Structure 1
Amino acid sequence: MIGRLQGLLAEKNPPQLLVDCNGVGYEVDVPMSTFYNLPNVGEKVSLLTHFVVREDAQILYGFGSAGEREAFRQLIKISGVGPRTALSVLSGMSVGDIAQAVTAQDAGRLVKVPGIGKKTAERLLLELKGKFGADIGAGSTFTTSDAQTDILQALVALGYSDKEAAACLKALPKDVGVSEGIKLALKSLAR
């Protein structure tokens, strides 16, 4: 119903905003990724929106990019995942990170998001497989083979951060085997 809002940013109280559109103030809930990229209060803002009507409330969710809104819409289609949980996932991970986790079927990255348990993470990965990584993650240039996924998971299990492991993977040859890849990655990380 309401697809986009453009107006003056009247208030910012995480995770909610008040956007003044020609004298009408719209309360909009946004993920923290959008919140951090907002202009100052009193400046113009434009948000893509998703309108949710429930029995007891009508809530407007706002997003800074089409990818975030599409990710939100894919997440709320999953049984047991409501708008608040979807907002939490988008606040804890970028769209590219979610696409990587889905492609690699890495539940560990989703479990780090507050409010997401192991079962919910596994359900998210199962439901989003084939939908999320291909469509929404198209902007992500990071693609993995099965060997690279195994190497990434091994490095994370050894205590390296997702960013360190992903950066190290980019430097490895694309056709490297798992054991050789782990050895090369550990040598590179040891420097």
Structure 2
Amino acid sequence: MMIGRLEGKLVEKQPSWVILDIQGVGYEISLPLSVFAGLPALEEKLILWIHQVIREDANLLYGFARLEDRQLFRELIKVSGIGPKVGMAIMSAMESSALLQAIQQEDLQALTRIPGIGKKTAERLLLDLKDRLKAWQPQQMAKLELPLGAELPAIDPRAEAEAALVALGYKLPEASRAIAAIAAEAMDTQDLIRAALKSMAK
């Protein structure tokens, strides 16, 4: 039986994953950074749309705040060479509406700015997805408005960058060392990711 949606109590959250308690069972769910930014406080109710991947050695859950975001993720991972980890990294780097617009407008430059996405991968994304997503409306993928008076939690750019590197397939200790080795302060998440990728490629 495949899991498509989960509703439970948020008991732990990190930039790349959460633990959702459902009747005493804790489900570990990977999620894009855009979802993490809008998470409620611990012990509050959380609903996520789930994409499940069952392998011989693992049962993996990927969570999204909106059904449309999950569908976009599923379209991404249909592209040759784009697995769930890379798909999550793409959706962490760009809001769904911006990603959809870049694909529909064949904006190669916008896609290659995503950490870990080179020109060939970006070209393959455009070739495979531009027709499939032609009828999708970017405004329907826009980020949901927060309730009146609500504020997004502050996120440490270094934590975001570390989570993005893990989503790209790097081990957590390796990602942590790479981020810690970058001495420059006041760098945003994207600059940190690029600098870390450059240092690890040496």
TM-score normalized with structure 2 length: 0.67
Between the aligned residues of both structures, percent identity stands at 47
Equivalent position of 1:11 in the other structure: 12
Contact 2:7–2:22 under 8 Å retained in 1: yes
Q: What is the root-mean-square deviation in Å for CA atoms of aligned residues?
A: 1.5
Number of residue-to-residue matches in the alignment = 141
5+ residue gaps, structure 2, are 143-202
Q: Deviation at 1:113?
A: 1.0
Q: Which whole-Å deviations, capped at 9, do the CAs of 1:87-140 have from their partners, x for residues lacking one? A: 011111111111111111011111111111111011001100111242363626
Contact 1:71–1:136 under 8 Å retained in 2: no
Q: Which has the larger radius of gyration?
A: 1
Contact 1:100–1:133 under 8 Å retained in 2: no
5+ residue gaps, structure 1, are 142-191
Q: Which has the higher contact order (CA 8 A, sep 6+)?
A: 2
Q: Which contiguous aligned blocks of 4+ residues in structure 1 show a shift greater than 3 angstroms? A: none
Q: Which whole-Å deviations, capped at 9, do the CAs of 1:4-55 have from their partners, x for residues lacking one? A: 1101001001201000001010000000111111101111100000100123
User: Mapping of 1:41-60 within 5 angstroms?
Assistant: 41-60=42-61
User: Mapping of 1:17-166 within 5 angstroms?
Assistant: 17-135=18-136, 137=138, 139=140
Q: Deviation at 1:80?
A: 0.3
TM-score normalized with structure 1 length: 0.70
2:52 aligned counterpart, secondary structure: strand
Structure with the higher fraction of residues in helix conformation: 1
1:135 aligned counterpart, secondary structure: coil
1:81 aligned counterpart, secondary structure: coil
